[in-house]
């Protein structure tokens, strides 16, 4: 086995334990669903066991992996027809024995529906990781996150990395947009994280169709909300935005091709 397929992930200096990475091999690995939990509207937190109990995934922040599933109707054929879709692990790369994803199921979605219908013991194939950028602790004083719905996955990957590292002092402000209070994915975990580290992490929920009892921010995200809750733009801060096309367009604008693009509220 190649040396690069190991990662040091526990303890410090001479007591560091070197674990075998499950990801990073040249071909697909098989992972087995341990449990699935409904965490939002048509959205599940799926925890998959690695082939070996003492492996870690080894992915860095921010990375995605490709999950490969057989197209419905072709599973039992000699040459199944596969689809590949990128998903964002929300567990850490050093977590022992399992990997977690938050996956939203779409009515006509091939992979998302298949994955959300899996039962404990069912197997899926995974390949990766694919790095989108490498997060460096303490590179920025503050980071602003804006996400909608299941696009919480890349934010949670980063949040867990920062808040689980006592050496990392980066402050994080998170604006999380959802239609209703019930749609907020992992609200308890987010609110607990904020309650435990009030000086480092703040989460603000924006609800577009609030109930009569909702006392927080409501409606569509506005420039005022961004100014109020996000870090000031400067060389020591960074913003990450992820979500449905409409939200991203509203926040960061759109690039023009034939016609002129539009400005987003971050430019205001």
Ligand X SMILES: Cc1cc2nc3c(=O)[nH]c(=O)nc-3n(C[C@H](O)[C@H](O)[C@H](O)COP(=O)(O)OP(=O)(O)OC[C@H]3O[C@@H](n4cnc5c(N)ncnc54)[C@H](O)[C@@H]3O)c2cc1C
Per-residue DSSP letter, 141 = S
Write the binding mask 140 to 179 for ligand X: x where contact by CB under 6 A, - elsewhere: ----------x--x--------------------------
Measured distance CA(238)–CA(16) in Å, rounded = 32
The C-alpha angle with vertex 245 and arms to 82 and 48, in degrees rounded to 5, equals 40
Q: How far is the CB of 154 from ligand X (least distance, A)?
A: 7
On whether 86 is known to bind a ligand per the annotation, the reply is: yes
Min separation Cβ 82 and ligand X, Å: 11
| 140 is an annotated ligand-binding site residue | no
Q: How far is the CB of 46 from ligand X (least distance, A)?
A: 10
Q: How many CB atoms lie within 10 A of CB 182?
A: 11
Whether residue 231 is annotated as binding a ligand: the answer is: no
Q: Which residue is nearest to ligand X (CB)?
A: 109
**Neighbour-count burial for 208-230, b at 16+ CB within 10 Å, e otherwise:** bebeeeeeebeeebeeebbeebb
- Please report how the helices 187-196 and 152-163 are oriented relative to each other, as an axis angle in degrees rounded to 10: 30
Structure tokens at 97: 């024995």
Interface positions, 193-252, toward ligand X (CB under 6 A) = none
Q: Is 112 annotated as a binding residue?
A: yes
Min CB(132)–ligand X separation in Å: 7
Residues between 52 and 111 with contacts to ligand X, criterion CB under 6 A: 64, 83, 85-88, 101-104, 106, 108-111
Q: Nearer to ligand X by C-beta: 225 or 241? A: 241
Contacts for 245-253: CB closer than 8 Å, 24+ residues apart:
247/146, 247/148, 247/177, 247/221, 250/220, 250/221, 251/146, 251/221, 251/226
Helices (H), 67-124: 110-116
Q: Is 245 annotated as a binding residue?
A: no
Centroid of chain to Cα 94: 16
- Binding residues with ligand X: total (CB under 6 A): 19
Is 255 labelled as part of a ligand binding site? no
* Known binding-site positions for FAD: 85-87, 102, 104, 112
Return residues touching ligand X (CB under 6 A). 64, 83, 85-88, 101-104, 106, 108-113, 150, 153
* Known binding-site positions: 85-87, 102, 104, 112
């Amino acid at each position: 086995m190649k040396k690069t397929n190991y990662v040091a992930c526990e303890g410090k200096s001479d007591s560091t334990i070197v674990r075998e990475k499950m990801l990073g091999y040249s071909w697909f690995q098989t992972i087995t669903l341990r449990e699935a939990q409904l965490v939002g509207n048509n959205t599940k937190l799926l925890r998959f066991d690695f082939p070996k109990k003492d492996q870690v995934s080894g992915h860095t922040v921010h990375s995605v992996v490709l999950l490969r599933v057989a197209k419905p109707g072709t599973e039992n054929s000699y040459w199944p027809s596969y689809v590949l879709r990128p998903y964002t692990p929300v567990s850490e790369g050093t977590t022992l024995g399992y990997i977690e994803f938050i996956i939203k199921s779409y009515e006509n979605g091939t992979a998302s529906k298949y994955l959300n219908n899996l039962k404990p013991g069912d197997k899926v194939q995974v390949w990766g990781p694919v790095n989108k950028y490498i997060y460096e602790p303490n590179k920025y004083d503050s980071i602003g996150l804006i996400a909608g719905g299941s696009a919480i996955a890349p934010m949670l990957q980063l949040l867990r990395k920062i808040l689980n590292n006592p050496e990392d002092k980066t402050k994080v402000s998170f604006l999380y947009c959802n239609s209703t209070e019930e749609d907020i994915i992992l609200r308890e975990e987010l609110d607990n994280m904020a309650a435990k580290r009030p000086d480092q992490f703040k989460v603000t929920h924006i609800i577009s169709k609030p109930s009569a009892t909702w006392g927080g921010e409501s409606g569509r995200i506005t420039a005022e909300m961004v100014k109020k809750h996000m870090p000031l733009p400067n060389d020591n801060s960074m913003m990450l935005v992820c979500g449905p096309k409409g939200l991203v367009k509203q926040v960061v604008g759109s690039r023009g091709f034939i016609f002129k693009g539009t400005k987003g509220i971050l430019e205001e």
